[in-house]
Amino acid sequence: MHPSSSPPAALSRQGSAARTPSLHDEYLRATDLRAFVEIHRGQVQDPAVAFYVSQALEECAITHDTGPRDGLPVEEQRAAAVIADQCRGFDGEVIHPAAILELLRYAAQWGEPRAEARLLLLRDAAAAKDDALPHLPWMLNLREPSIIRDVGAFLSRGEAQWRYGGEQVPTAVAAIAWELVACDMDPSCTPRSRFALSQCAYLGRCSDWRYEDAVALFEPPELMGAARRLREGILRALRDRDWEWLGLA
């Protein structure tokens, strides 16, 4: 792909393109995502900034689309309230999916791997994955949790099984295993992270301990046991760059 000649028109303003070294942590720690977007609007010509701004918008767009949480368990209501509070600056404002997609595509065109991984989830779930597989090893080699989570979800979408080593594994098992691996590699994967809170609010996966415990309460024991076993194989394959074992070669 060839980079576009200018940053996304939807959010672009004149400003410095210098990358903030702590941008990743700043995004994860942000408690006001509207403020995060406003601070970085002028820097979206930097692909990394464009990616994180797109993710802040995506998170709050999902929050906007969620109806009242009355009648749900207290834990889910609390998680939804925390997420909504972090998006409070967007109250009454429509977040257009086209603006999010424009930022993602721009970042991906400039080689931002997290944006490329995120775009995988926008492909037709029924389409063949063969053309994407050669690009996945270099993404996974970065050992970035968001990439691991998105690549794992991509491999599991639209498939009944996926080959790991010499075994065909149900993708319902693999999807959970990839999520566990992403959390293993993510120091910020705690019950208070926005990812864990969103899983609690929208999927009922709630726990005051590890995110893994929340998943275990939600999934059947046999499915969770198989996912935990596969997780060890995925961790080993990522460490050894054994792309063939992951079904990517």
pLDDT digits 0-9 by tens, 171-222? 999 999 999 999 999 988 888 888 889 989 988 888 888 889 989 988 999 9
- Provide the CA 1 distance to its chain's centre, in angstroms: 22
pLDDT band at 62 (very low <50, low <70, confident <90, very high): confident
Tell me how far apart the alpha carbons of residues 59 and 65 are, in angstroms, rounded to a whole number: 10
Residues 96 and 52 in one domain: yes
Is 155 within 8 Å of 238 (Cβ atoms)? Answer: no
pLDDT value of position 9: 53
Residues 139 and 106 in one domain: no
pLDDT band at 5 (very low <50, low <70, confident <90, very high): very low
Entry pTM: 0.86
Residue 249 counted as domain residue: yes
Name 118's Cβ contacts closer than 8 Å, sequence gap at least 6. Answer: 51, 54, 55, 104, 108, 146, 150
Residues 196 and 221 in one domain: yes
Residue 117 counted as domain residue: no
Residues 106 and 151 in one domain: no
Domain with 9, as residue range(s), is 1-112
Tell me how far apart the alpha carbons of residues 192 and 210 are, in angstroms, rounded to a whole number: 10
Boundary residue ending a domain (78, 112, 146): 112
**Closest C-alpha to 1, from 146, 100, 104:** 104
Residues 171 and 88 in one domain: no
Residues 188 and 106 in one domain: no
Boundary residue ending a domain (112, 131, 159): 112
Residues 101 and 56 in one domain: yes
Domain count across the chain: 2
Residue 2: pLDDT over 50: no
Residues 52 and 88 in one domain: yes
Residues 127 and 249 in one domain: yes
Residues 11 and 105 in one domain: yes
The lowest-confidence range among 3-7, 16-20, 134-138 is: 16-20
Is 170 within 8 Å of 212 (Cβ atoms)? Answer: no
222-246, pLDDT tens digit by residue?
Answer: 999 999 999 999 999 999 999 999 9
Boundary residue ending a domain (90, 112, 134): 112
77-123, pLDDT tens digit by residue?
Answer: 999 999 999 999 998 889 999 999 999 999 999 999 999 999 999 99
Residues 134 and 234 in one domain: yes
